[in-house]
């Protein structure tokens, strides 16, 4: 009985300390690790959100971009950080659902990251460089089949969502489109506009400027209905790509061991920003949809997303490999 009482006392003391810590949190700047390159849609969104959050949290969010390697570098940095609430990380589908199924010897495990909230879903598009003269998915398929060595495709690295889509296309079409890794949608968009790569799939918001300038053409969008930003562009289903499962998302996590009271406080602050009508008008222009959750709701979503990832990896005929740092 004495041991039980001692243990209960210890738990109560930990709980009290956690609550006290949360009451004064934050009292210094917060590092926000963004697992993609500066200038990409997610980076733009998080910088805007950071400015809003500084007003509610009373401290600045210092963005640290750790792009590349399908989010592995960002996840590793976050997992190794002190779990005191002063390091948060922006994660996505590759971080939690795809990488653990595709790679051995990852420098982190999904369990190293505590779910805080899902943030938003991406509306993605299939894009080509205007220089190749392709105007539809059907034309892209015919071109790729007729010229098997002519197309390069921008990815976020092996096993990333864009990479898996390319593998799925190759598997479905019997083609040999080649993947080229970039650290984010921004660099990928620049490469596509310059015809360094000829095709890719990323968030629509990365490409609007290039589309307006006539350097990039959108062939299809990954949504149930056409995008208000691209009303003349068909959906994936309309364009004949409806068999592809999975949807791109981004969320927020903290290092394992971060106090629950702090996680709840961070969750409340981010959810308030991402539910704000004015902020949602901004998100509309980035072609993303706010989709916040509780920490528990995000954890449940991650379990289901992992199942969807298993299906997609099988359809893409993608094999498990050993992760080798660049």
HEC per residue, the chain? CHHHHHHHHHHHHHHHHHHHHHHHCCCCCEEEEECCCCCCHHHHHHHHHHHHHHHHHCCCEEEEECCCHHHHHHHHHHHCCCCCCCEEEEEEHHHHHHHHHHEECCCCCHHHEEEEEEEEEECEEEEEEHHHCCCCHHHHHHHHHHCCCCCEEEECCCCCHHHHHHHHHHHHHCCCCEEEECCCHHHHHHHHHCCCCCEEEEEHHHCHHHHHCCCEEEEEECCCCCCCCCCCCCECCCCCCCCCCCCCEEEEEEECCCCHHHHHHHHHHHHHHHHCHHHHHHHHHCCEEECCCCHHHHHHHHHHHHHHHHHHHHHCCCCCEECCCC
pLDDT at 246: 73
pLDDT band (50, 70, 90) for residue 148: confident
Q: Please tell me which residue, 287 or 13, carries the higher pLDDT value.
A: 287
pLDDT at 315: 81
Q: How far is CA 114 from CA 90, 186, 234, in A?
A: 11, 28, 37
pLDDT at 316: 82
pLDDT band (50, 70, 90) for residue 239: very high
pLDDT band (50, 70, 90) for residue 146: very high
Same fold, 28-122+247-322 and 124-221: yes
For the chain, what are the domain ranges?
Answer: 28-122+247-322, 124-221
pLDDT reading at 18 higher than 70: no
pLDDT reading at 96 higher than 80: yes
Q: What is the pLDDT of residues 193-229, one digit of tens each?
A: 999 999 999 999 999 999 999 999 999 999 888 888 8
Task: Tell which CATH classification among 3.40.190.10, 3.40.50.300, 1.10.8.80, 1.20.1090.10 matches the domain 124-221.
Answer: 3.40.190.10
What proportion of the chain, given as a percentage, has pLDDT over 90? Answer: 77
Q: What is the pLDDT of residues 310-325, one digit of tens each?
A: 988 888 888 899 998 8
pLDDT reading at 21 higher than 80: no
**pTM for the full predicted model:** 0.86
Rounded to an integer, the average pLDDT of 130-149 is 96
pLDDT at 6: 55
pLDDT at 265: 97
Rounded to an integer, the average pLDDT of 104-133 is 96
pLDDT reading at 169 higher than 60: yes
pLDDT at 58: 95
pLDDT band (50, 70, 90) for residue 130: very high
- Give the mean pLDDT of the chain: 91
pLDDT reading at 151 higher than 60: yes
pLDDT band (50, 70, 90) for residue 280: very high
pLDDT at 136: 97
Rounded to an integer, the average pLDDT of 86-102 is 95
Task: Give, in words, the CATH class of 28-122+247-322.
Answer: alpha beta
Rounded to an integer, the average pLDDT of 238-244 is 87
């Amino acid at each position: 009985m004495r041991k039980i009482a001692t243990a209960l006392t210890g738990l109560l003391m930990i709980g009290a300390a956690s609550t006290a810590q949360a009451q004064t949190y934050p009292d210094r700047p917060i590092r926000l690790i963004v697992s993609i390159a500066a200038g990409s849609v997610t980076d733009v969104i998080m910088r805007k959100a950071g400015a809003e959050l500084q007003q509610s949290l009373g401290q600045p969010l210092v963005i640290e971009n750790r792009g590349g390697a399908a989010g592995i570098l960002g996840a590793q940095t976050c997992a190794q950080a002190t779990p005191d609430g002063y390091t948060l990380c922006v994660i996505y589908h590759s971080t939690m659902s795809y990488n653990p199924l595709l790679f051995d010897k990852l420098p982190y495990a999904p369990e190293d990251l505590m779910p805080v909230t899902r943030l938003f879903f991406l509306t993605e598009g299939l894009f080509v460089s205007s220089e190749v003269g392709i105007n539809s998915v059907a034309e892209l398929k015919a071109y790729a089949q007729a010229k098997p060595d002519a197309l390069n495709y921008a990815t976020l690295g092996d096993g990333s969502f864009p990479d898996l889509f390319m593998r799925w296309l190759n598997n479905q079409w019997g083609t040999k489109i080649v993947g080229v890794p970039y650290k984010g949608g921004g660099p990928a968009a620049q490469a596509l506009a310059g015809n360094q790569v000829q095709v890719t799939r990323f968030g629509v918001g990365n490409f609007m400027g290039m589309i307006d300038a006539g350097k990039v053409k959108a062939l299809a969008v990954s949504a149930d209905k056409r995008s208000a930003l691209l009303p003349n562009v068909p959906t994936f289903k309309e364009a004949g790509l409806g068999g592809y499962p999975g949807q791109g998302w981004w969320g927020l996590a903290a290092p394992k061991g971060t106090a629950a009271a702090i996680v709840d406080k961070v969750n409340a602050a981010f959810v308030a920003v991402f539910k704000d009508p004015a902020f949602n008008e901004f998100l509309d222009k980035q072609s993303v949809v706010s989709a916040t959750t509780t920490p528990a709701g995000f954890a449940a979503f991650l379990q289901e997303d992992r199942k969807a990832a298993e299906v997609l990896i099988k359809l893409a005929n993608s094999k498990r490999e050993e992760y080798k740092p660049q």
